[in-house]
Structure 1
Amino acid sequence: MLRPGDVFVTPVPLSREFLRYAYGLTGVPPESVAVIEVPPAGAVPLARAVREAGLVEQVRALAGDRGATLLPTALDALAIAFARDIGIEVHPYPHGRGRRGRPEDDHAAQHEDRLPRDGRETGHAAADGAW
């Protein structure tokens, strides 16, 4: 659910009517959310489309300012790599170093080799936000 401080990255354009509805439904002030619409990139995972569109730095700056975590539609290796690249954690799995500061406590990294490589392997369409 949308909350103040969120950075919402979407692979589809959002109409003003939809955004007004979402803000009204959640009670979230529009100025408290950053919405980034990624240009169409074909049938690719959203993390790749963000890179191809040159939006990584914008997402990194917004997410870093807000102390964000990534809540992907499809948890796959690309999503974990993207979160790591921009310096944020994957909700609810911390990465980098675990709670005790040791790499072996890193839950996401411990299971990364078992995750699908992209959203297609999980049955999620790229337009569903495989990120």
Structure 2
Amino acid sequence: MTKSPGKRRYGYSWCYVSKSCSEVGHGGKTTNLKWKTCTHQDKMVSNLEPGDLFDMSSKQGSDNLMMAKMSYEFPQVKGLIQFSQSNDPIHNWIQSAAREHLGLAPVEFSKQALRKMPSEHTLKYNGQIWEVYANKAVCVEGCPI
């Protein structure tokens, strides 16, 4: 597996494991199962390339947007965050300021997008740009071969 960019914070991530697991770290147990804190030896979805993550999401019937937001760090998924539209000018001004503060400027890419909203639904990962929707994800720039 290829690691995603940025520091990994092992010990801050956790997962459910069977009650027979003996290596729970700082985890604990419930009635029928245990949870454990992750170490550098554990496979983590944050280490998956987007194509592999979305394949797994599809096989599980999961939402691609939610899977990406839960797997990657904010700088990578900030283009997946959507702000609601309003007729209230103050609301729109606050959202505009928030977008600017978070660096949510439109993302430019050269291939045809699925929809004409280049600033939304974008995931950046190691030079790749993905257009991501709940049930579909397409690499549109810097795609792996």
TM-score, shorter chain, exceeding 0.5? no
Higher relative contact order (CA 8 A, sep 6+): 1
- Counting helix residues as a fraction of each chain, which structure ranks higher? 1
TM-score by length of 2: 0.29
- Counting strand residues as a fraction of each chain, which structure ranks higher? 2
TM-score by length of 1: 0.31
